[in-house]
Structure 1
Amino acid sequence: MSKTRPALEVSTLPHLTHPKYRPDIDGLRALGVLLVVIFHAFPRTLPGGFVGVDIFFVVSGYLISSIIFGNLEAGTFSFSEFYSRRIRRIFPALAIVLATAWGLGWLLLVLDEQKQLGLHIAAGSGFVSNLLLWSESGYFDNDASTKPLLHLWSLGIEEQFYIFWPLLLGLLWKRNYSNYNFLGITLLIAIASFAVNILTVHADPVAAFYSPWSRFWELMVGGILAYLVLHRPQVLTTNPDWQSAAGLTLIVVSVALLNKNAAFPGWWALLPTLGTFLIIAAGPNAWLNRHFLSSRGMVGIGLISYPLYLWHWLLLSMAWIVRGKTPPTSTRALMVAASFLLAYLTYSLLEKRMRRGGTRTVIALAATMAGLFVIGLVTQAEILRPRNDHESIGAILEALHDWEYPSGFQKTSFGGVAVRSKTGSAKPVLFIGDSHIEQYGPRIASLLDSDPAQYRSALLLTSAGCAPVPDSGQTNEYRVETCNSYRRHVTTLVHDAQISTVVIGAAWNLYFLKSSPRYSKNMDIDFELANLERFIRSLAVEKEVYLILDNPNGPPFEPRNFFAGTRFSGLTVKPHQESIPLADDQGQLGERLTEIARKAGAKVIDPVAHLCPERRCPAMTAAGKPVYKDDNHYRPFYVRQHADFIDIVLAK
């Protein structure tokens, strides 16, 4: 093959050539989007429907790689035309959905929600939603259902692929690599990306889900297929009908076996990706491809699959936000129907026209997206504010993000374990637990700042969402590996001879009460409490041990529940109720934990005894300031002023 390569960008080049249209691939798009829409609208019906996104990834990788490989080898590739086509294909529907999201946000959201939406609009228009969502993930991240643009994470990964892949292949081509290197580089990236996926799916599942480096392999599966179709089609198909049936079976099996608790993508993602590979490789004449995927209904849905994907989650999420919880089935069905209608109108009235546009259309679309990026940023900066922006709402919104820990503490190592520390004048006190120990950080820091000579040093070994008791069956479904690793560190450190006192605390009410939304039906509470007693007893023979009971919690303490009115009519703040009766089951659990701790040799600290006179617990100050940041964590100002029950463990 000649080593001389034509320039990639010359005005005399013919237009980019595209693979021959295959209606069955539009049918695959339909299958992918239907799985995702049903999963989002009716998750119990199709808990594994999220694999529809993986079908999209393989299809996109196949089509884009076919265009790049074929045109580079023919000498007809043009970066300007390639990206112009991407703009005309992607920008119209995205722009109208982003603009609608902002309008609905202005109408329905409060300031903190609209600020976050503004940032997500900017990220969506800049195709980095996956990176933003990755950075936002954490224990205090708000529910996925309250993020109307959450689904743009997959579009971000695809657009990052569209930028990275042609640039890399164009560079290789210009440097006179033979076309066989296309297969080599595709395989290399696929293997490396798959390895990243496997290595991170347990250690950092959020990164594995959102990172392009752990997802590109799925698009590369499509790229490998594209190369084989161009150069070695004979190796792809032996029995098309059975091959297509096997591919669809793999997709169905993945939908049937998977749910949101699966370690995904991981090895599981091979099922939908290889299934899609087999279906496309079988060719358009395979029986399933010809009669099912190429049917008029599937092709019709496939043609509107992109705007349908964009619209459906925006409407479902807004419906969730308006109701404050999962909407009824009828409302979700209505949102899905509206999504289909909006998708059809977007495709027929906007997308089809824009695809025929020229340079001016491309410039106008790019300018529109840049404008949306700016609108998103100025919304995030509170320059553009929502309709529900009454002055009285401000005090409530301030509470929702009021969290200081680990501010004031130094990150260090003690006994070979990473901890947060605050230096005093005697042997350290070790605090172990989850965020319900972390919430007392402001009080601990203020004591040691005020007079370090009077208090012992403090070490905090904590992990939000993880009970601190070794061998505990309590699990946070998104942090299983993190919690297991954390408990191993606890086991290492609690017996260290330099530790004079251990303070144990956690969200006991959330873990052990059936009324809690985090209660696991699979948890044996009697075993857990006996395990806690054994743990305390093992420590109490060596050193001083304190058990901090849980603070009162539940919906009556949640600042968002202090709003009156509706998001449509306008929100105001209810006349504040300063105290809430302690829930009976929380009081009973506290009594049981007290008995266990004292039998095992620990001293008990009960926030209820200190803060809830006559078992009525504070929710608002007399000035109308929420005491809690959410339904179970105290705010820093309240802890500093009132959590003096912590002082005894630090006093020399």
Structure 2
Amino acid sequence: MGVPVKTKQDYRNDIDGLRAIAVLLVVVFHINEKLIPGGFIGVDMFFVISGYVITWAIIKGYGSGEFSFADFYRKRIKRILPAMFFVTAVTLAAGVALMLPEDVEALSWSAVATVLSGANIYFTYFLDTSYFASDSRAIPLLHMWSLGVEEQFYIFWPAFLLTILRWPRFVIPALLALIALSILVGELQLHQGFYSWAYYMLPARAFELAAGGLLIYAQKGKQPQLHKGIAFSAAVLGLLLIGLSAALLTGESPFPGLLAIPVTLGTVLLLASGSTAQPISLILSLPPVRWVGLISYSLYLWHWPVLAYAHYMFGEISVTQQLACAALMLCLSVLSYYSVEKPARFSEKPFRSLAIRYFAVPTAAMVIVASALIITKGFGPWLLTKYPEQLAQFSTDIRPAGDMDYVCQTSTLSKKDTENPKCIINGTSEPKILLWGDSNASHYVGALAALSREAGISFRNFAHSACPSVLDRPERFTREKIAKACKSSSATALKEFDKYDTIIMSSSWDTYLRQNEAEFTQALAKTIETLKTKNKTIIVLGQVPRLYGYDPTCERKNIKLKVLHCRDAFKGAPQRIETTNQIVKKVASEKGVGYLDFEPILCSRDFCGSKIAEKSIYYDTGHLSGAGSEQLGIAASKNSGFMSDFIKIMNITMQSGS
């Protein structure tokens, strides 16, 4: 059979220590990602550890002839489901108490997906990852995707492993082939831009779990004692690989794929060396470290909902709030571990009883409750109160500008997007004026539409998300994940410019200036020069102030959450964007092109408002909503000074026949 008939399953204290490292990486990263930019790799460590431990159990049972699927899944049920159901139920109840109906409805769907072992599938296909998507940090059950991956792994792994164990000579080649295929699948998905699929789905994660399995098979199901020097060197290298990954990777890194190999290999090295008494394995086996490892599963389950609700209520959370969240998640984890997780783990009930008690009954209950919430559009028991009526008083259109059918914004600009007749504003025939840029161009469409109606002109708009309106290698200033789309979109835009006499440029200038101020300033100037050589009239739009801490749904949330303080004026906002606009205005002035800034309409002295005529005009901290943009344009058209500047600039175009 290739493995010994009998194996001794010693309890590995150092594995608890490894779990402690993994969970602390994840928790600290989610509390404040600046502390450990790549801390999300703790999940990858968990996958490798899980593959190692599960394969160990299967090979041990196979070698002794005692393996049974009923016993295998009995242990998995005890280990995973009770705490998961408990946390999911409490999280859903908290959502009903705290969240807006539309958010409760989304939470209910994710709860159903979680208990059916499909959270990763749900978030892959139904999580809004568009440019204007809601903050994913405020989605309470998002972290359950990793449980979906593990639970799906448990479904296929025993059958797969038991099948290939019949031919011992082919086990290692088969596992290596699976690992290589999984990495290849992940890389292909990342290369094609399917980042969510690569991140959340099992095929792209299977190599991490299989790597743990490969190690335990290579060890013949034993815990070998290596030479201490070799074991220590392997452990140091493993920690170095994990540490470098945690320090160098970021949430914007294309992951997993090839970039997940170092943390996977590092965890494998620590597992391989941990059964030998050497300094690192001894540190990992210390009681305080082991204790964190023992509660790691409960801590992982609780940490995200606690932080998600903090972000949901307060947006960016302060250091004090971060510490309070850390204390709360630790208390909940200890409670969950000792009152739910540990008692269930040592239950002696047979498979059938456990399956009914810990799976069938709670699953049915969760589906029923979630279905009721979905049917009532997230209101649930609040339907019996005055809440719907109170909520209706604050209902307002705060959709992002990119959602409007007259706005042509996309992640990858195509020729079809540039010819969409719906995106011609104030006219039907092709105009001679183009508004071009990123989401900041899109959120100006409504404002320019109102102004253009007053001036009697028309224009077209198209935009590429998170990609600046420069022609000189714009991908330099974007996230790595969208560099390819940015380059393609810019090339598509350039081909269309000959149709227009005037090009209005708008972008999230501060975002790109932060990448490299000197390079971006030069790229902007070069773009203006290029367009001027084509006899284009150029107008550059300044950026609206960022209202840090602004939540357009605050007043609606405050019906339930009386503790929220909803701000509509933000001190210091002009100063925060002033430097950026001065840089852009200087470039425009030096190149002899027009510059227009909406700040005088939005701000007075050192305050900027989030409302016009008592209506919120921002979608988020830095973007106008579609309706808000229109409100801004109406207000600007009534400002004689601003309208005079607009007419003066646009007269250049009007004289050219546009």
Report the equivalent of 2:83. 93
In structure 1, which of residues 316, 321, 346 is the aligned counterpart of residue 336 of structure 2? 346
Report the equivalent of 1:384. 380
**2:365 paired with 1:371:** yes
Report the equivalent of 1:10. none
**In 2 relative to 1, CA 395–236 (structure 1 residues): closer, same or farther, beyond 3 Å?**
farther
**2:178 paired with 1:189:** yes
- 1:324-376 superposed Cα distances (whole Å, 9 cap, x missing partner): 322324x4334334433332332222223323133223212222134224434
CA distance in 1, matches of 2:408, 2:51: 46
Contact 1:582–1:617 under 8 Å retained in 2 = yes
* TM-score normalised by L of structure 1: 0.79
**2:470 paired with 1:469:** yes
SS across alignment from 1:352:
helix
CA distance in 2, matches of 1:133, 1:307: 21
One-letter code aligned to 2:380: L
Greater mean deviation of Cα atoms: 55-64 or 606-615: 606-615
- 1:385-434 superposed Cα distances (whole Å, 9 cap, x missing partner): 6699464544656444455536367999x998563432353477654311
Report the equivalent of 1:490. 490
CA distance in 2, matches of 1:159, 1:153: 10
CA distance in 2, matches of 1:337, 1:582: 33
**2:419 paired with 1:421:** yes
SS across alignment from 1:103:
helix
Unaligned segments of structure 2, at least 5 residues: 422-427, 638-645
**2:283 paired with 1:321:** no
The structural deviation recorded for 1:464 is 1.8
Contact 2:433–2:459 under 8 Å retained in 1 = yes
Report the equivalent of 1:437. 441
SS across alignment from 1:559:
coil
Contact 1:236–1:282 under 8 Å retained in 2 = yes
SS across alignment from 1:148:
coil
SS across alignment from 1:136:
coil
**In 2 relative to 1, CA 626–554 (structure 1 residues): closer, same or farther, beyond 3 Å?**
same
Greater mean deviation of Cα atoms: 182-191 or 250-259: 250-259
In structure 2, which of residues 151, 158, 168 is the aligned counterpart of residue 159 of structure 1? 151
Report the equivalent of 1:110. 100
Contact 2:187–2:258 under 8 Å retained in 1 = yes
One-letter code aligned to 1:421: E
CA distance in 2, matches of 1:558, 1:37: 25
Contact 2:235–2:269 under 8 Å retained in 1 = yes
**2:138 paired with 1:138:** no
**2:207 paired with 1:217:** yes
One-letter code aligned to 1:185: A
CA distance in 1, matches of 2:339, 2:413: 66
The structural deviation recorded for 1:94 is 0.9
CA distance in 2, matches of 1:313, 1:410: 35
Contact 1:619–1:628 under 8 Å retained in 2 = yes
CA distance in 1, matches of 2:586, 2:221: 74
Equivalent residue pairs, number = 618
**2:267 paired with 1:276:** yes
**In 2 relative to 1, CA 189–631 (structure 1 residues): closer, same or farther, beyond 3 Å?**
same
Measured on the aligned residues, the alpha-carbon RMSD in Å equals 4.6
Report the equivalent of 1:150. 142
**2:624 paired with 1:634:** yes
**In 2 relative to 1, CA 320–439 (structure 1 residues): closer, same or farther, beyond 3 Å?**
closer
CA distance in 2, matches of 1:406, 1:247: 50
Report the equivalent of 1:298. 289
CA distance in 1, matches of 2:531, 2:474: 20
SS across alignment from 1:482:
helix
Contact 2:450–2:630 under 8 Å retained in 1 = yes
Report the equivalent of 1:407. 405
Write out aligned runs for 1:331-342 (5 A).
Answer: 331-342=321-332
CA distance in 1, matches of 2:42, 2:607: 50
Q: What percent identity do the matched residue pairs reach?
A: 27
The structural deviation recorded for 1:435 is 1.1
CA distance in 1, matches of 2:274, 2:633: 69
Greater mean deviation of Cα atoms: 344-353 or 203-212: 203-212
Report the equivalent of 1:480. 480
Write out aligned runs for 1:441-590 (5 A).
Answer: 458=460, 460=462, 462-471=463-472, 479-483=479-483, 485-491=485-491, 493-495=493-495, 498-501=498-501, 503-508=503-508, 510-511=510-511, 520=514, 523-524=516-517, 527-550=519-542, 552-555=544-547, 558-560=551-553, 568-569=561-562, 583=574
**In 2 relative to 1, CA 286–77 (structure 1 residues): closer, same or farther, beyond 3 Å?**
same
One-letter code aligned to 1:158: E
The structural deviation recorded for 1:607 is 4.8
Report the equivalent of 1:5. none
The structural deviation recorded for 1:510 is 4.1
* TM-score normalised by L of structure 2: 0.78
One-letter code aligned to 2:465: A
Contact 1:555–1:561 under 8 Å retained in 2 = no
Report the equivalent of 1:515. none
**In 2 relative to 1, CA 271–121 (structure 1 residues): closer, same or farther, beyond 3 Å?**
same
**2:80 paired with 1:84:** no
SS across alignment from 2:429:
coil
**In 2 relative to 1, CA 375–504 (structure 1 residues): closer, same or farther, beyond 3 Å?**
farther
Contact 1:537–1:601 under 8 Å retained in 2 = no
**In 2 relative to 1, CA 601–394 (structure 1 residues): closer, same or farther, beyond 3 Å?**
farther
Question: Hey, which of these two has a bigger chunk of helix by percent?
Answer: 2
CA distance in 1, matches of 2:494, 2:251: 34
Unaligned segments of structure 1, at least 5 residues: 3-15, 513-518
